[in-house]
Chains A and B, each alone.
Chain A
Amino acid sequence: MYAWVWRHLPGPWPVRLFIYLVLILGIVAALFFWVFPWVEDTFDINRVTVG
């Protein structure tokens, strides 16, 4: 799947590499800002209150 993405990116290899890195960075940012906080809240993995 990673090779498939690489083949479908436009431009010479330095441009492809740049686009690839930006893509990965975007996905990691989305995980940190939205996905992981949602996982934490939804699955009750970090509660500290009684009752």
Chain B
Amino acid sequence: MAVMAGALGELMLTGGVLVLLFVVYTLWGTGIQTAAAQNDLRNQFELQLDEVDLDTDEDEPQAAYEGLELGDAYGILRIPRFGENWEKIIVQGVEDEDLKNGPGHYLDSADPGELGNFAVAGHRSGHGEPFARFPELQEGDIIEVETATGIYQYQLYDAPDGDSDGNKIEIQDSWVADPVPGEPSSAEPSESLLTLTTCWPRWGSSHRMYATGILISSEER
């Protein structure tokens, strides 16, 4: 009996340690891989910029995006609300494998500066938690995106505004990333928008959270 109780105790202790280790993995372990990936992606993006300088085709600026594969460096995202020098490299695609390395560009969404909706998803917990402070985003905040084609500034007109439950939506609410949010996805866009999505709650995935802005300035290369 005493042996049984001892074995049971050891099992329970082991279970507790496993859970703790998983928390350590989520909080810290996943970030190590992301930091290394962000470094590689930054180098990759700088190489892309060099290539753009070499063969600039001014008639076809969007061609810069056509060669991109899933997981490739796409551009730089800057959000002053998250810190003066806050910037992350955006990757092409929003599969799990892509988002582990940084915020990801929804493949079917527009490219920056284009008419339509440039949509980006990012983690709020683990994997470098790029969007950890997402609820702090305010209407009027500037979001800057730099890609091979130029530098684009968007101003948020729809944001959580400091409310931890602000702009909470269902998982299926893909309309936020539509070319014209709120209109049928076939609607012809007349504005250039940016939409960011992340998880809600921060340490779960039962819902989503979003913020949307409109292009206010663009500086083509």
Contact = CB atoms under 8 A, between A and B. Distances in A.
Interface string A16-49: 0000000000001001100010011100111111
Contact of A50 (B21, B22, B123, B177): B177
A2 B22 CA distance: 21
B101 interface: no
Contacts of A32: 21, 25, 29
B135 interface: no
B46 interface: no
Contact of B205 (A1, A28, A36, A46): A46
A31 B25 contact: yes
B contact face: mostly helix, strand, loop, or mixed: mixed
B: interface residue count bin: 35 or more
Interface in B19-65: 21-22, 25-26, 29
Interface stretch (B68-76, B136-144, B153-161, B165-173): B165-173
B21 A28 contact: yes
B122 interface: yes
Given A1-B10, A28-B21, A32-B25, A48 B122 contact: yes
A13 to B, nearest CB: 21
Contacts of A50: 121, 169, 171-174, 176-177, 197, 208, 210
A31 B21 contact: yes
B90 interface: no
Contacts of A41: 96
A49 B197 contact: yes
Nearest to B123: A48
B45 to A, nearest CB: 21
A48 B198 contact: yes
B132 to A, nearest CB: 12
Nearest to B126: A46
Interface in B199-217: 199, 204-205, 208, 210
Given A31-B22, A46-B126, A46-B205, 18 more contacts: A1-B7, A31-B21, A32-B29, A36-B21, A36-B22, A36-B26, A41-B96, A45-B204, A46-B123, A46-B199, A48-B197, A48-B198, A49-B106, A50-B173, A50-B174, A50-B210, A51-B171, A51-B172
Interface of B: 7, 10-11, 18, 21-22, 25-26, 29, 94, 96, 99, 104, 106, 121-127, 131, 169, 171-174, 176-177, 197-199, 204-205, 208, 210
